[in-house]
Each structure stands twice: as structure tokens, then as C-alpha cells.
Amino acid sequence: MSKFDNDEAPMTQQEMQEALAINEDEILKALTGQAQYEHRTETVEVSFGNAKFAFRIRPLSEKEWDKCRERNTKYSKNRRLGGIRVPESTDTTGYHSDLIYTATVDEDRAKLWDNKVFWNATGALTGRDMVDKLIPYAGKKQAVIERIEALSGYNDEDQEQYEEAVKN
């Protein structure tokens, strides 16, 4: 008995093309599907004083994460580097509020963060300000951020699976 008896035979060119065609159809369905993330939402419950409220969050794309980071990072030009813009500081509080605001499902965002009655009562100027008003504690915000990260795929693979995928 050879040591290669249990190994699978390599795919033929035709088998690879058929597998690609199957995957291509699935990918096209996913790309042209209406609201890709609609089915991946999670409800977050928060207590604020004696009141409790809930809102739904969705996964964020990489571009959405970057936009939130960009909006909350202060840049300056470095003369030593030929005037290149370099990050000077990041407003962590604003960044976390921006992530929560962006990840909130549109319907809930309108009712909670963009509620003009709440804005007038608290002096908030934006929906992101309302996130700060209703979730003022860093630990509670961090817990919501971790749930957004999990929905967005940051916790999908453990390190061993990741290394195996990178090898292949």
C-alpha cells in the first residue's frame, strides 16, 4: 500500500472550470442581490438611566470602517517628509460613535440617532452626538463595537484556520 493511496487526485482542468462556473454563479447572485447584509443583523439592548432601548446593527464593509476612521483622524503635513499628510491623532470617542451610527440599520438610525426631538432635548447636533449621549460609557460602547466586528467577519476564523488559508 502506497503512502499516497488516501490522498485525493488533483483536479483536472475541466473539473476546475466546472467548479469555477458554479462559484461564479453564486458570486454573481451575491453581488446582484438586493441588500446583501439584510439577513445579518443583530439586536443590541442598552440601558440608559432607568430606560432601556434596543437597536439593530449590521456588518460594515472595509470602506465603511475606513471612512469612519478618516472622519475621526486629524492629519497634518510633515515638512520633513516633503509635505506628506500624516495622521496626528484620532478621536477615539468620535470614531466609536461613528462606527455605531454607521452600523445601525437605517430604520433604527432614523428613530433613535436622527430623532430631532432627542436632539432638541439634549443639544445634540448630529446623530453621532446622540450615540455619545445615549451610550456615554466606554465599556458599553466597546461591547457594541465588538459585536459589530463579529458581524463584519473579524472573528470568523481562528488563527490556525487563517494560517492554513494563507498557506494555500
Name the pLDDT band for 128 (thresholds 50, 70, 90). Answer: very high
Over 90: is that where the pLDDT of 64 sits? yes
pTM (two decimals): 0.69
Mean pLDDT to the nearest integer, 32-50: 75
What is the reported pLDDT for 81?
Answer: 74
Q: Which of 69, 52, 59, 60 is nearest to 134 (CA)?
A: 52
Q: Which of 96, 113, 94, 91 is nearest to 104 (CA)?
A: 113
